[in-house]
Amino acid sequence: MEPNKPCWCGSGKKYKKCHKAFDEKLHTLMLQGKIVPGHELIKTPEQIEKIRISAQLNTGVLDAVAREIRAGMSTQEIDDIVYTYTTEHGGIPAPLNYEGFPKSVCTSINDQICHGIPSEDDILEDGDIVNVDVSTILDGYFSDASRMFMIGDVPDNAKRLIKVTEECVLKGLEAAKPWGYLGDIGEAVNTHAMANGYSVVRDIGGHGIGLEFHEDPFVSYVTKKGTEMVLAPGMMFTIEPMINEGSCEYVVDEDNGWTVYTYDGGLSAQIEYMVLITDTGVEVLTK
């Protein structure tokens, strides 16, 4: 690219004063055999601003659920809260009709790993743990995060699983650094889960996000330090490991084609942060 032409990122600055050194760094890494992101995975300053606003709404939706969630409530009621809050604030729930998904949010209880479908028939009971996974489209920009909720009095093993899952995400976050590797996150998550006697779900993982619901790269939590894609400033993706009490084996519900269960019936927990790699570190956009 011409050094004096406006940079491809849309900053309005000259290329030589903007992403030229960045491109050269990526090129060198590529020649060393590293996996490097294409420009399509680097968000421009304007996109980042728009996606931040979508992410703020996404957090607002999760906060609305947090205020209302309680024993005796059906997961359909959670879906209603998500749909109403999101649309009243000008957004669209991203899961609704996404590849045929029938509802506005995923609600995954106890041994459900992910992609639980809200239903009038699923009533939250005292002692349940539930993941509520909220994804929002605002002004065409996508955001995504999930939290674990404990319903009433939860057994100690479930509490410990949630605590360790949260620690796994925080370890992953700490390992996420500009010019580091995606595998640094995977190893940090996996090491902590294993040290606590848990397993990490393979094949299902995080993803790039922002302009689409699911973009590259795929984010695995069983990868090794120094491997996978280079983390360049401007990349956005989710850290959302699924941690199982027992084995990491899973089965997908044959009737609805969505809901993923632990094979052994053990508990599973998931917490999802959506992050942006910046020049100096990492910014959590919604959690």
Interface with Co ion (CB under 5 A)? 144, 238
Nearest to 82 by CA among 129, 122, 135, 131: 135
Structure-token pair, residue 128 = 């349940």
62 binds ligand MF3 (CB under 6 A): no
Select 19 or 103, whichever has its Cβ closest to ligand MF3: 103
Task: Single out the residue of 110, 112, 135, 259 in contact with ligand MF3 (rule: CB under 6 A).
Answer: 135
The DSSP call for residue 118 is P
Task: Single out the residue of 79, 187, 240, 245 in contact with ligand MF3 (rule: CB under 6 A).
Answer: 240
The DSSP call for residue 128 is -
Rounded distance, CA 246 to CA 160, Å?
A: 13
Select 26 or 205, whichever has its Cβ closest to Co ion: 205
For the bound state, the minimum distance from the C-beta of residue 122 to ligand MF3, rounded and expressed in Å, comes to 15
245 binds ligand MF3 (CB under 6 A): no
For the bound state, the minimum distance from the C-beta of residue 143 to ligand MF3, rounded and expressed in Å, comes to 10
Letter string b/e over residues 151-160, b meaning 16 or more CB atoms within 10 A of that residue's CB: beebeeebeb
Residues in region 169-198 near ligand MF3 by CB under 6 A = none
Select 111 or 144, whichever has its Cβ closest to Co ion: 144
Structure-token pair, residue 72 = 């005796």
Letter string b/e over residues 95-115, b meaning 16 or more CB atoms within 10 A of that residue's CB: bbeeeebebbbbbbbbbbbbb
Residues in region 193-222 near ligand MF3 by CB under 6 A = 207
Nearest to 225 by CA among 184, 169, 178: 184
Cβ atoms of 144 and 274 within 8 Å: the answer is yes
Residue 218 binding partner per list Co ion, ligand MF3, none, with a CB distance cut-off of 5 to 8 Å that depends on partner kind: none
Rounded distance, CA 97 to CA 40, Å?
A: 25
Select 22 or 186, whichever has its Cβ closest to Co ion: 186
144 binds ligand MF3 (CB under 6 A): yes
Contacts with ligand MF3: how many residues (CB under 6 A)? 13
Angle at 14 between CA 12 and CA 20, to 5 degrees: 115
For the bound state, the minimum distance from the C-beta of residue 266 to ligand MF3, rounded and expressed in Å, comes to 21
Select 146 or 262, whichever has its Cβ closest to ligand MF3: 146
Residue 131 binding partner per list Co ion, ligand MF3, none, with a CB distance cut-off of 5 to 8 Å that depends on partner kind: none
Rounded distance, CA 107 to CA 227, Å?
A: 32
Select 107 or 190, whichever has its Cβ closest to ligand MF3: 107
Cβ atoms of 36 and 229 within 8 Å: the answer is yes
Chain residues binding ligand MF3 by CB under 6 A are 95, 98-99, 101, 106, 115, 133, 135, 144, 207, 238, 240, 272
